[in-house]
Amino acid sequence: MAQVPPARYLMRAKDLVDARYAEPITVDDLAAAAGLSRAHFSRMFTRTFGESPHSYLQTRRLERAAALLRYTDRSVADICVMVGLASVGSFTTSFARVYGKPPAAYRASMPPASVHARVPSCVLKRDTRPPADSRVRKTAHGEKTGRRPAS
């Protein structure tokens, strides 16, 4: 059976996250961009892309933070703010849950930023996504988890 491409309105919302992840975007903003109610948008987004809109936004932010940790000398607090997160503590916890170590330890495990050659951003995006099963998820009780629930 042929796979149906995502509806244009969902792609519009996904593109909005990709372009403005560092801004204070809410699911309501994404639903408005798609022209749907919040509840219907969330259901359709999750059904289509396999993760909630909020989880997708958090994943984009953490991916960008990981790239900034690898390729810049900016502080963890600066990077936290640059990717649109307000709390360094929450950022550190979420980052460690997804990448297996806190931001400072992640950076320490990489070569210094000064030795990196410039790599096109499309390659960085492709190669720096965390595995699908490690993305930020919420349990039925609203608790965040880095693992998919057991089926």
* CATH number, domain containing residue 103: 1.10.10.60
* Tens-place pLDDT, residues 41-77: 999 999 999 999 999 999 999 999 999 999 888 999 9
Average pLDDT, the chain: 83
Q: Measured over all CA atoms, what is the biggest interatomic distance in the chain, rounded to whole angstroms? A: 49
> Which is more confident, 76 or 9?
76
Q: Tell me if 26 is assigned to some domain.
A: yes
At 127 the pLDDT is 66
3-state secondary structure 46-80: HHHHCCCHHHHHHHHHHHHHHHHHHHCCCCHHHHH
Q: Give the mean model confidence (pLDDT) for residues 115-128.
A: 66
Q: Tell me if 55 is assigned to some domain.
A: yes
Q: Tell me if 68 is assigned to some domain.
A: yes
- What does the buried/exposed string (b/e) look like for 18-35 if buried means 16 or more CB atoms within 10 Å of the residue's CB? eeebeeebebebbbebbe
Q: Tell me if 102 is assigned to some domain.
A: yes
Contact call for residues 113 and 73 (beta carbons, < 8 A): yes
Q: Tell me if 96 is assigned to some domain.
A: yes
Residue 144 phi/psi, 5° resolution? -80, 145
At 2 the pLDDT is 45
Question: Whole domain around residue 116: which residue ranges?
Answer: 8-137
Q: How many domains does the chain have?
A: 1
* Tens-place pLDDT, residues 92-112: 999 999 999 999 999 999 887
At 125 the pLDDT is 67
Q: Tell me if 145 is assigned to some domain.
A: no
At 37 the pLDDT is 94
Q: Tell me if 149 is assigned to some domain.
A: no
Measured between alpha carbons, how far is 20 from 24 in angstroms, rounded to an integer? 8
Q: Tell me if 42 is assigned to some domain.
A: yes
pTM score over 0.75: no
